Amino acid sequence: MLQKAVVNGHLPHAYLFAGTEGIGKRLTALTLAKTINCEEGKEDCCEQCLSCRKIKDGNHPDVSVINPEGQFIRIDKIRELQRSLSYRPFEGKMRVCVVDGAEHMKAEGANALLKTLEEPPRRTLLILLASETDLLLPTIVSRCQQVTFTPLSMDQMVTELTERQTIEEREARTVAALAQGSLGRALQMLEHEVWEKRLDVIHEIMDLPSHGVRKAFAVAESLVDFGESLPLVFLVMMAWYRDLIIWNEQRSADCLINQDLCEEVKQVASQMSRRSLIRRIEAIHETSRALSRNANRLLALENLLLQLR
């Protein structure tokens, strides 16, 4: 679809690439920028010409990427974007700006970007990348052509993980299931020790009901050390409670994500109701959302662990 738009000259002024993190939105956006400005002028980028190489190295004067700094995209980055788009392309065919994590704009930045979308300059393309489009202004979404990215299949994930990492197929399947079809998340789990500490995290939350409040606070404090990898830890937690629900309802080990913990799943699942498990999954999800909005990390985790207890 994107290739046809380039070949036919029917590119919109803005795209919104929507989908979970780590499934290729940024890679596709930069490949599109290369294709538009490629010196070969075909339906795909050559990856060899000077323009393609500059975009790959991040030093093409007409292609820029804006990322969140900390929790949010700074307003001065949006204003800088507006200034750059007001000029004609310096050496390429079209100016392309990729806004990664577009849902992390504050109101001021979102309104500034909206003005650009309402009156787009000629020969420019904005590509917004977002994993949670409901956090974007509806007026921004309505002014972009949306492209939805879906998770990779289990077989694709396993093939990529076993080729890129020293990992057995069974482990790769568990990592892929935990990452929910996101190759980026799966690789981060392996690189940032989340996979290595998965069993410790699960055993900690398994033991919470039999200990006091002090234990919950201690676990919360240990989770703080995961830093920016906390969203991946939350996936591990939610998968554990999801497995308990699956076992209570289907009694099938084949449907479990944590198949290496089948005996623990059977033992714990019998002690918990479906409603209480869903409540815990919702608490984890809400904590993840709160942290994405810059909530105090330790306080949010302490509150979560008390709920899980």
Same structural domain, 297 and 199: yes
Going by pLDDT thresholds of 50, 70 and 90, the confidence category of residue 83 is: confident
Model pLDDT for residues 13-46, shown as the tens digit of each residue: 999 999 998 999 999 999 999 999 999 878 899 9
What's the burial of 27, exposed, middle or buried (CB within 10 Å: 0-12/13-18/19+)? Answer: exposed
Domain of 304, CATH number, reads 1.20.272.10
Going by pLDDT thresholds of 50, 70 and 90, the confidence category of residue 186 is: very high
Same structural domain, 140 and 275: no
Supply angle C-alpha 290, 297, 232, rounded to 5.
75
Question: Integer distance in angstroms from the first to the last C-alpha of the chain?
Answer: 49
In a domain, residue 179? The reply is no
d(CA 182, CA 36): 27
Mean pLDDT computed over every residue of the chain: 92
In a domain, residue 176? The reply is no
Same structural domain, 109 and 202: no
Going by pLDDT thresholds of 50, 70 and 90, the confidence category of residue 151 is: very high
| Cα radius of gyration rounded to whole Å, the chain | 22
User: How confident is the model at residue 119, as a pLDDT?
Assistant: 86
| Mean predicted confidence (pLDDT) in 145-170 | 93
In a domain, residue 299? The reply is yes
Same structural domain, 19 and 107: yes
Structural domain range at position 234: 192-308
In a domain, residue 76? The reply is yes
User: How confident is the model at residue 53, as a pLDDT?
Assistant: 95
Is the CB of residue 198 less than 8 Å from the CB of residue 298?
A: no
Going by pLDDT thresholds of 50, 70 and 90, the confidence category of residue 5 is: very high
d(CA 28, CA 5): 14
In a domain, residue 295? The reply is yes
Same structural domain, 139 and 249: no
| Mean predicted confidence (pLDDT) in 167-178 | 92
- List the one residue out of 42, 32, 246, 61 whose CA is nearest residue 126: 32
The reported pTM is: 0.80
d(CA 43, CA 76): 35
User: How confident is the model at residue 246, as a pLDDT?
Assistant: 95
Model pLDDT for residues 190-233, shown as the tens digit of each residue: 998 899 999 999 999 999 888 889 999 999 999 999 988 999 99
Same structural domain, 140 and 262: no
In a domain, residue 224? The reply is yes
User: How confident is the model at residue 64, as a pLDDT?
Assistant: 93
Same structural domain, 211 and 112: no
Same structural domain, 132 and 198: no
d(CA 26, CA 58): 13
The number of folded domains in the chain is 2
Domain of 81, CATH number, reads 3.40.50.300
Same structural domain, 209 and 139: no
- pLDDT exceeds cutoff 90 at 303: yes
Out of 118, 148, 178, a domain closes at: 148
User: How confident is the model at residue 84, as a pLDDT?
Assistant: 85
Going by pLDDT thresholds of 50, 70 and 90, the confidence category of residue 120 is: confident
Same structural domain, 64 and 133: yes
d(CA 152, CA 144): 24
In percent, the amount of the chain with pLDDT more than 70 equals 100
In a domain, residue 138? The reply is yes
- What residues contact 173, with CB distance under 8 A and at least 6 apart? 154, 158
Same structural domain, 141 and 26: yes
In a domain, residue 157? The reply is no
User: How confident is the model at residue 193, as a pLDDT?
Assistant: 86
Same structural domain, 71 and 196: no
Model pLDDT for residues 241-292, shown as the tens digit of each residue: 999 999 999 988 889 999 899 999 999 998 999 999 999 999 999 999 888 7
User: How confident is the model at residue 72, as a pLDDT?
Assistant: 85
